[in-house]
Copies of this chain bind each other. A is one copy, B any other.
Amino acid sequence: MRAGPSQEEIRRYNLGTLLRHVHLGGPTSRAELTSRMGLNRSTIMALTADLAAAGLVREELPRETGRAGRPSLVVRPESARIYVLAFDVGVDRLVAARVGLGGVILDRRESVRQRGTFDLAEVISTLAGFARQMVRKTRPDTVCVGAAAAFCGAVRESDGTVHFSPNLVGPIAELPFGEELSRKLAMGLPVAVGNDANLGALAEHTRGVAPGCRNLIYLHADVGIGGGIIAGGHLLGGHEGYFGEVGHMIVNPGGRPCGCGSRGCLEAEVGERALIDHAGMYGRVGREAVRTLVEAADRGDIAARDSVHRAGDWLGIGVANLVNIFNPEVVVFGGTLRELYLGSAAQVRTQINTSSLPAARANLRLRTTALGDDVTLVGAAELAFTQMLADPLEMLARVSP
**Partner-B contacts on A (CB < 8 A):** 1-5, 9-11, 13-14, 17, 20-21, 36-39, 43, 154, 163-164, 214-215, 227, 231-232, 234, 236-246, 248-253, 260-262, 317, 320-322, 324-329, 354-360, 362-363
Of all chain B residues, which has the CB nearest A329?
B239
Residue pair A2, B37 in contact (C-beta under 8 Å): yes
Shortest beta-carbon distance from A10 to chain B in Å: 4
Shortest beta-carbon distance from A251 to chain B in Å: 7
Of all chain B residues, which has the CB nearest A323?
B245
Residue pair A251, B248 in contact (C-beta under 8 Å): no
Shortest beta-carbon distance from A266 to chain B in Å: 10
**Sample of 18 A–B contacts (CB below 8 Å):** A3-B10, A3-B13, A3-B17, A3-B38, A3-B39, A154-B357, A236-B326, A239-B327, A239-B328, A240-B359, A241-B327, A242-B357, A243-B326, A244-B325, A249-B325, A250-B320, A250-B355, A321-B321
Residue pair B240, A232 in contact (C-beta under 8 Å): no
Q: How far is the CA of A370 from the CA of B238 in the complex (A)?
A: 23
Q: How far is the CA of A354 from the CA of B317 in the complex (A)?
A: 21
Of all chain B residues, which has the CB nearest A34?
B3
Q: How far is the CA of A320 from the CA of B265 in the complex (A)?
A: 11
Residue pair B3, A37 in contact (C-beta under 8 Å): yes
Shortest beta-carbon distance from A177 to chain B in Å: 15
Known: A238-B327, A240-B359, A246-B324. A253 touches B4 (CB 8 A): no
Q: How far is the CA of A35 from the CA of B358 in the complex (A)?
A: 49
Residue pair A250, B14 in contact (C-beta under 8 Å): no
Residue pair B14, A326 in contact (C-beta under 8 Å): no
Shortest beta-carbon distance from A86 to chain B in Å: 22
Of all chain B residues, which has the CB nearest A6?
B10
Query: A248 contacts which of B43, B231, B240, B324 (Cβ < 8 Å)?
Result: B324
Shortest beta-carbon distance from A191 to chain B in Å: 21
Given the complex, which residues of B lie within 8 Å of A262, measured CB to CB?
A: 320, 354-356
Of all chain B residues, which has the CB nearest A246?
B325
Residue pair B317, A360 in contact (C-beta under 8 Å): no
Known: A232-B234, A328-B238. A164 touches B359 (CB 8 A): yes
Shortest beta-carbon distance from A36 to chain B in Å: 7
Residue pair B243, A327 in contact (C-beta under 8 Å): yes
Known: A231-B238, A239-B215. A248 touches B1 (CB 8 A): no
Given the complex, which residues of B lie within 8 Å of A9, measured CB to CB?
A: 4
Given contact pairs A231-B231, A238-B328, A250-B317, a sample of 20 additional A-B residue pairs in the complex whose CB atoms are under 8 Å apart: A154-B359, A154-B360, A163-B359, A164-B357, A214-B239, A215-B239, A227-B325, A231-B237, A238-B360, A240-B327, A241-B327, A242-B357, A243-B326, A243-B327, A244-B325, A245-B360, A261-B354, A262-B355, A262-B356, A322-B325
Q: How far is the CA of A243 from the CA of B217 in the complex (A)?
A: 14
Shortest beta-carbon distance from A253 to chain B in Å: 6
Known: A3-B38, A240-B362, A325-B325. A248 touches B10 (CB 8 A): no
Shortest beta-carbon distance from A18 to chain B in Å: 8
Q: How far is the CA of A261 from the CA of B253 in the complex (A)?
A: 20
Given the complex, which residues of B lie within 8 Å of A236, measured CB to CB?
A: 231-232, 326
